[in-house]
Amino acid sequence: MADKQTELLQGTLDMLILKSLGLGPLHGLGISRRIEQVTRGTFHVKPGSLFPALHRMEEEGWLSSHWGESENNRRAKYYQLTKTGRRQLESETERWGRISLAIARALEAS
């Protein structure tokens, strides 16, 4: 449901969301656009996937949320990383590094 061109790997969406919030609080649409921007349009996250993920991660304690004003003066719900969320991002990044290295090696070997 989440892709335009590429299927998202299980667990990847969480990591992308955590990463996009690394620089500061964002609302749902902001997160969605940030992910598109940094992946150069490879991933397009639909609201049907985004919101369940945000709420789940909030329940996990990785994110916290608050209502705020958007750039064009609309009310919007902002998400930001908690301490646990930051740790989760670090461990996810490290794990992802290992996986992609391993896969890259596996594909190079022949």
Partner 1 sequence: MKSLMRFRSFFRNLARRAESDRDLDAEVRAHLDLLTDEKIREGLPSDQARRAALLELGGVEQVKEDVRSSRSGVWLEQFWQDVRYGARQLRRNPGFTALAGLVLTLAIGLNAAIFNVFNGLLLRPLDARDPQRLVSLYFSSQDEPGATAISYPQYLFCREQNSSFSSLSAFAGGRVLMTDAGSSGASAPEWLQAQLVSGNFFSLLGAMPAQGRAFLPEEDQTPGAHPVVVIAYDLWQSHFGGEPEAIGRTLTLNSLRYTIVGVAPRGFIGTDPEVPDVWIPLAMSANVQSGPPLFDDRGAGWLSLLARLKPGVTLDAAQAEVRVLAARYHAADPESVRKSSILASPASFLTPSEKSDTVPLAILLVAAVGLVLLIACANVANLQLARGLTRHKELGIRTALGGSRLRLVRQLLVESLLLSGLSGVAGLFLARAAADLMLALVHPSGARAFSLNLSPDWRVALYLAAISLGSGLVSGLLPALRVSRQDPLDAMREESGVAAWGRGSSLRSALVVGQVALSLFLLVAAGLLTRALGKARRVELGFDSQSVAVLHPDLRLHNYDTAGAVEFEHRLSERISALPGVRSVALARTVPLGTDFSQTSVFAEEAGQSADRQARIINFNVVTPEFFDTVGITVIHGRVFTPAEIASGAHVALISQTLAQKLWPSQEPIGKRLRRGPNSPLYEVVGVARDARNVYLWAAALPYLYLPMIPENLDQYSDPALLVCTAGDAAALAHALPGIVRQMDPAVTSKASTLADNLEFWLLPSQLGARLSATLGLLALLLAAVGLTSMTAFAVTQRTREIGIRIALGAAPVAVVSLLLRQTGRLVAIGGAIGLAAAAAASRLLVQFLYGLSALDGLAFAGTALFLAVVSMAACYLPARRAMRVDPVVALHHE
Judged by CB under 8 A, does residue 108 bind partner 1? no
Retrieve residue 21's tokens: 């919030």
State the nearest-atom distance from the C-beta of 74 to partner 1, in Å: 6
Q: Whole-angstrom Cα distance, residue 38 to residue 19? A: 10
Q: Whole-angstrom Cα distance, residue 72 to residue 55? A: 25
Binder among 40, 66, 75, 83 for partner 1 (CB under 8 A): 75
Judged by CB under 8 A, does residue 51 bind partner 1? yes
Residue window 1-40: x/- pattern of binding to partner 1, with contact defined by CB under 8 A:
--------------------------xxx-----------
Q: Whole-angstrom Cα distance, residue 68 to residue 41? A: 27
Q: Whole-angstrom Cα distance, residue 31 to residue 46? A: 11
First vs last C-alpha separation in the chain: 34
Q: 69: how many CB neighbours lie within 10 A of its CB?
A: 10
Tell me whether residue 56 or residue 98 sits nearer to partner 1 (CB atom). 56
Binder among 10, 72, 106, 108 for partner 1 (CB under 8 A): 72
Instruction: Return residues touching partner 1 (CB under 8 A).
Output: 27-29, 46-49, 51-53, 55-56, 58-61, 70, 72, 74-77, 84
